[in-house]
Every structure is written in C-alpha cells, then in structure tokens.
Structure 1
Amino acid sequence: MNEPWSTLTSILEADPTNEDILDNIATHGLLTAAAISPRQPSIDQIISCIFDGTPDLSSQDLQTLKNALQQAQQQLDQPLFLGEGLELPYEWDEDEDLEDSDIQAWCIGFMSAVFLDEAAWFDADEQESSELLLPIMALSGLFTDAPEFAEMTEDQALIADMCEQLPELLTELYLFYKCPEEKKDQTKKPSAKTNSAKLHKPKKH
C-alpha cells in the first residue's frame, strides 16, 4: 500500500466503532467516481461523504487527511486519463457472497459520489448514464428494493460478469463523461439495461 493510502487507512480505521465512516475500499470507490464525475466534487464534499458529516479531527489531522486524499486522487486520475485501466483494491472470487464483500463496499463508495451531484451524472443523457452505471448500482446492493435489481443480484453468472468487466466499464464511464466526442467511437454500452428512474440515496441502516 502506497503512502497516501496508508495514511488514509490509519485515519479511517482510527475509530473502528464508527460504522458511518467509509473504509479504505469504499473511499477508493468514492475517489474513483470523483475522478470520473462531470463536476469534480470539492475536497470538503468528499470528506463529508466519507465521514457522513464533519469529522472529529484536529486541524493538523484534517490537513493530513486532505493532503492524503488529494494525492490518492491524483493517483487515480492518471491511469483513467491515459486510458491505462484502473487497478481495483480487491480480489473478486466468483464463489464469494456479494453481500458485505469488498466489491460491494467499493461500489457503495462509488455511488456515494454519484449521490453528491446526481444532476451532473444524469441530466445530459439519463438513459445512457443509467445504462452505464447499472452494473455499479447493482453490485452496490443499495437498490434491492427495486425488483429488477433484486433479480440481477440473484443471478450469480451475471454478478460474476459485471465484476469482471468493472475495470473496462470505468474506462467507458471516463470517456463518456470526460471525452464525449471520443466515446462516440470507442465506448460500447453494457448489454444489461434498465428503465431506472433518477436515483435516491438509500437510508443507512
């Protein structure tokens, strides 16, 4: 684990009893989405999202957190910008239960960034945005109240396929939001589709 992520992990795990704080896997998903988002969230928005509000940190620790987040963000921006593919911070076993898995935590973190500014993600082309984000939405487990998502998460072959294609999907999302002219020639839509309406952040349990 490199320096900014090591620093982030130590801060995020300082209070293991606080279940509202995103862990380092979910934070990676959050920062990945922040790098892809058509409107970059501020560092204060990101911190508020990680801690579900204002963190109980000293001014020195808060500055250390901001520096680590900015460095980690730069590390995620570069491979997406260069089209090199992003290495995700977990290993997926297709026999693994999706619930409470690292990939679910990562997708929850990603969707947390989407919830920060849904208009930016969906207003330009809601249908195509929903289709591209569908696998992450399904893998997050946040939308199981919707029948179509519940059915998807019960299909182990589909889950395994979405998990395998996630790195490629991130490149497609980056092209869609950051390079719309280039994506017309290079981006392929995922085969799965949904008629999902605009998203609403689910309540924490």
Structure 2
Amino acid sequence: MQETPRPTPLLDDEELDRLDDFLDSDRVDADALDVIGAHGFLVALAVAPRDIPATTWVGELFHGEPEFIDDAERDEILSLLERLRNNAVEALEQGHLPELPFELELGGIAPEETPIGDWCAGFMEGVFLDEAAWFEGNEEDAATLLLPFMVLSGLFEDEPEMADLSRDATQAERLVQQLPELTLDLYLHYRVPPESPKPTPRKKKPAGRGGKRRR
C-alpha cells in the first residue's frame, strides 16, 4: 500500500519566524496580513489562473509600504515572500501537498477564531486580487473547489449556507481535512491543462470498393 507523501514545507521554521517577527512589528500597517494569512495569500497566488505582478500583490499583502530599516531588509523580506510563493509552485507542480502552518483540526473552536480561518482568509484575499479569472469558464467547478476556503475564512458569514456549514462542527472539521488536497486540485484545475484526446485515425476504405467501375 502506497503511503501518503509528507507535506512539503514552503519555508523552514527560521524563515517563517523571521517573517512572523517582521509582519507582527509596528513597522507594518495594522491591517497587513500576519504570517499565517500571508502564507495562505501566497499559496493562492501560486495556484491562481494568471500571474499577478509583485508590484500588485506586495502592496495588497502589506496594505501599503512597510517601514523597512534599509534596502537590505526590504530585499530580505520580499525575497522570503517570493520564495514561499515559488516553492509552492514547485511543490504543486511535482504533485506534492504543501505543508500548512497549522494543525488540521479546529478542536471545537469557530474557524474564524483559529489560524485555519486566518490562512483561508489570506487565501481568499489572493483570490480577490483577480476574482474574474478564478471564476471564468466553469464557475460551478471553481465555486465547488473554493467552497471550503470560503466557509472557513469567516468572510462570508452573511451567506446563510456558508454560515451553517461553518457552525456545523463535524462539517467544518471535514472541510479542514480537505485543504491540502484541494490546494493541489486547484493548481491542477487552473495550471495544468487537460490532455487533448488523440485524433482517431481514419479508416482506409478497402481497395476496389466505393469507386467507379472501369469500363
């Protein structure tokens, strides 16, 4: 029996701690994403149907321009963020599940009050950057694949169906368990085009049939 592959870390613990310290500092806007939300945001950008320029997503992640000490720190932080996104692309391209920065269980706590909710909210922020592209073509499939992220994010509490799913502890736990594989499914859905069926070769007609008779 084949074992389930271990999830792939997108940054090591020391690098995540460095991002956490910076994003939690008073040099970053209070509305900026924290390290959990940023992780979800960048994984969404790795999955997204179209590439988003760094000039666009950096401003969205930080909600403006942070107060970097100097250019070296700016390069360091932006490099870590870019590498997290690129590592997600590489892992998903190889069919690996990304390691998510939380345990896959809610423990009876409302999703929006957990790191799971923060991560999913960050993921949805990435979707909102180019929402039309995510739902273009087959809106029903996209909505089905994104439903767990939407429910767990706590951003759609005004929609009764999603609010009910979020409040149902059993259903919410089931959705949490699906997150790693759904991330890979979304990547395959948007980034790996289905193989075109090979054309069926035309059958040759037997010689001497179907043509005009010689006189």
**Structure-1-length-normalised TM-score:** 0.82
1:172-201 deviation line (CA, Å, top 9, x unaligned): 10110011306xxxxxxxxxxxxxxxxxxx
After TM superposition, the structure 1 stretch with the greater mean CA deviation from structure 2, 5-14 or 149-158, is 5-14
1:114-158 deviation line (CA, Å, top 9, x unaligned): 110111111121111111101100100000111111111111111
Distance 1:95 1:150 in 2: 15
CA contact (8 A) 1:4 1:72 kept: no
Structure 1 or 2: more helix by fraction: 1
**Structure 1 counterpart of 2:201:** none
| Map 1:60-139 → 2, pairs under 5 A | 60-91=72-103, 92-139=105-152
Distance 1:67 1:87 in 2: 20
1:38-84 deviation line (CA, Å, top 9, x unaligned): 11212222211211223333443322222111222222222111111
**Structure 1 counterpart of 2:164:** 151
Distance 1:17 1:8 in 2: 11
1:16 CA displacement: 8.4
Which sections of structure 2, spanning at least 5 residues, go unmatched? 1-11, 196-215
**Structure 2 counterpart of 1:200:** none
Distance 2:135 2:91 in 1: 24
2:35 paired with 1:24: yes
Where in structure 1 do 4 or more consecutive aligned residues deviate above 6 Å? Answer: none
After TM superposition, the structure 1 stretch with the greater mean CA deviation from structure 2, 74-83 or 140-149, is 74-83
**Structure 2 counterpart of 1:40:** 51
Q: 1:44 to 1:8 in 2, by over 3 A?
A: farther
2:64 paired with 1:53: yes
CA-atom RMSD, angstroms? 1.9
Matched residue pairs, number?
182
CA contact (8 A) 1:4 1:71 kept: no
Q: 1:103 to 1:4 in 2, by over 3 A?
A: same
* Percent identical residues: 37
Q: 1:3 to 1:75 in 2, by over 3 A?
A: farther
**Structure-2-length-normalised TM-score:** 0.78
Q: 1:152 to 1:128 in 2, by over 3 A?
A: same
After TM superposition, the structure 1 stretch with the greater mean CA deviation from structure 2, 134-143 or 48-57, is 48-57
Which sections of structure 1, spanning at least 5 residues, go unmatched? 183-205
